[in-house]
Amino acid sequence: MPDQLPNSQTPAPAGAAALSSGSSAKPLQFQQLQSCANTSARLGRVTTPHGSFDTPAFMPVGTQGTVKGILPDQLRAAGAQILLANTYHLMLRPGSAVIAQLGDLHRVMAWEGPILTDSGGFQVFSLADLNRITDSGVIFKSHIDGSMVTLDAAKSMAVQNELGADIIMAFDQCPSADAPPEMHRTAVDRTIRWAEECLQSHQRPREQALFGIVQGGTDAQLRAECAAKLVAMDFDGYAMGGLAVGEGFDAMQRMLAEGVGHLPSDKPRYLMGVGYPRDIAMAVASGIDMFDCVLPTRNGRNGHAFTADGPVRLRNSVHQRETGPIEAGCDCYACRNYSRGALRHFFFAGEMLGPILVSVHNIRFYQRLMADIRRVIGDGQFETFLREDPRCRLGSGVPMAGEETIAAADTVDD
């Protein structure tokens, strides 16, 4: 059995009991426990029917119902409290009806804690061979068998209702950062229309929280309009979508600084597909509570490890005889039991243990970062942490500690 590390995960029965004992029939409760005096960072807790998770939170990505190569016990030991799965992929294979017959996504993933599923919209617009898009939805060619598939707001809800995640996302349109203004305008109009249709089609509103997604590219006024209309619909939580899609760090920071204030303070805020530690730290300062990204596991499978001193490429020859761990002081299973030299050997020998161990380390790196962020918010030291902790400067295109730049991970799929 993997060694268990302490974390503040609330077991599933406690979360279910907390919800059932309340007067509200809402499937999600958010508590803001503390806030930073001079930034918008906040410490909180989200309670769902399958337990609670502490915020700010990072969700490891289990695209097809599994975080690649990682056992649920290892995820818990690394500190993960909530996982993400992908509606697009699970809809195509094995199908949401199959997942439901197997007992829902929690049973399939062997994960008793909270799960979030995205709507499938981002993958449709970034992965699929689109045949047609209208105000009603999209028709695309399956990347698995070439069949034509229709996805709209009602179907996204039906699929997510069958999957059974605790938090589900409204269907939206996510254009690329360099799309023309008229495309962003159309995407916002469709996102708002589809959000209304998702609310009408949602068949399990007492069991599954539904989040609306704010679009608008880098147009602050368009984002404000989208947010206002979604907030008027009274979703259980809200996400900032359409960021980290090529607009750059400064533009993302500006959109968050100007946009998060349009979202209600009594509900969780989720920045989708982000990201690098620098991005997360900045977004926490802007008031974001939830994050997800494939970086820890995708980079881990390619021998790229995160450390506070910068990225480490374990395939490099400098590590061949190195006896130290990936990161001194890290309490993950990989760092407590394996040397850099051993890990390098596993990669060159084609042994699956190498990618597994580096993925475990990277997930733990992210979970330690989030735990430290929560601690310093609680201690009133977040601004100092943001200014002084080297992890808060670790981003795309930022080489550190003499190593190569961390490889940018495509956040479409993992």
Q: Is residue 118 flagged as an active site residue? A: yes
Whether residue 80 sits in one domain with residue 165: yes
Mean pLDDT for 64-89 is 97
**CATH number, domain containing residue 124:** 3.20.20.105
Whether residue 194 sits in one domain with residue 49: yes
Contact 239, 268 (CB under 8 A): no
Spatial distance between the Cα atoms of 172 and 413, rounded to a whole number of angstroms: 17
Whether residue 108 sits in one domain with residue 79: yes
What's the pLDDT score for residue 13?
39
Residue 21 in any domain: the answer is: no
Give the closest residue to 377 by CA, choosing from 20, 11, 36, 27.
Answer: 36
- 127 pLDDT band, cuts 50/70/90, is low
- 245 pLDDT band, cuts 50/70/90, is very high
Spatial distance between the Cα atoms of 267 and 167, rounded to a whole number of angstroms: 13
Residue 268 has pLDDT above 80, yes or no: yes
Give the closest residue to 116 by CA, choosing from 48, 55, 205.
Answer: 48
Whether residue 274 sits in one domain with residue 233: yes
Q: 361 is in which domain, residue-wise?
A: 299-393
Query: Residues 292-325: pLDDT tens digits?
Result: 999 999 999 999 999 999 999 999 999 999 999 9
Whether residue 306 sits in one domain with residue 198: no
pTM of the model: 0.92
Contact 219, 250 (CB under 8 A): no
Contact 77, 141 (CB under 8 A): no
Residue 357 in any domain: the answer is: yes
Helix (H, G, I), strand (E, B) or coil at 246: coil
What's the pLDDT score for residue 4?
36
- 18 pLDDT band, cuts 50/70/90, is low
Mean pLDDT for 164-187 is 95
Q: Which two tokens stand for residue 48?
A: 């769902």
Residue 414 in any domain: the answer is: no
Residue with the bigger pLDDT between 8 and 142: it is 142
What's the pLDDT score for residue 121?
81
What's the pLDDT score for residue 254?
98
Percent of the chain with pLDDT over 90: 84
Q: Is residue 129 flagged as an active site residue? A: no
Whether residue 156 sits in one domain with residue 97: yes
| Catalytic annotation, pick one of 118, 166, 236, 289 | 118
Q: Which two tokens stand for residue 317?
A: 């020859």
What's the pLDDT score for residue 125?
74
Whether residue 265 sits in one domain with residue 169: yes
- 6 pLDDT band, cuts 50/70/90, is very low
Mean pLDDT for 402-409 is 43
| Domain total in the chain | 2
What's the pLDDT score for residue 192?
98
What's the pLDDT score for residue 3?
39
Residue 1 in any domain: the answer is: no
Q: How many other C-beta atoms lie within 10 A of the C-beta of residue 343?
A: 27
Residue with the bigger pLDDT between 128 and 43: it is 43
Chain-wide mean pLDDT for the chain?
Answer: 91
Whether residue 307 sits in one domain with residue 269: no
Residue 240 in any domain: the answer is: yes
Q: For residue 381, what is the DSSP state?
A: -
Mean pLDDT for 186-199 is 98
Residue 122 in any domain: the answer is: yes
| Catalytic annotation, pick one of 54, 166, 279, 292 | 292
Residue 22 has pLDDT above 60, yes or no: no
Whether residue 199 sits in one domain with residue 87: yes
- 143 pLDDT band, cuts 50/70/90, is confident
Query: Residues 323-333: pLDDT tens digits?
Result: 999 999 999 99
Give the closest residue to 87 by CA, choosing from 213, 192, 218, 228.
Answer: 213
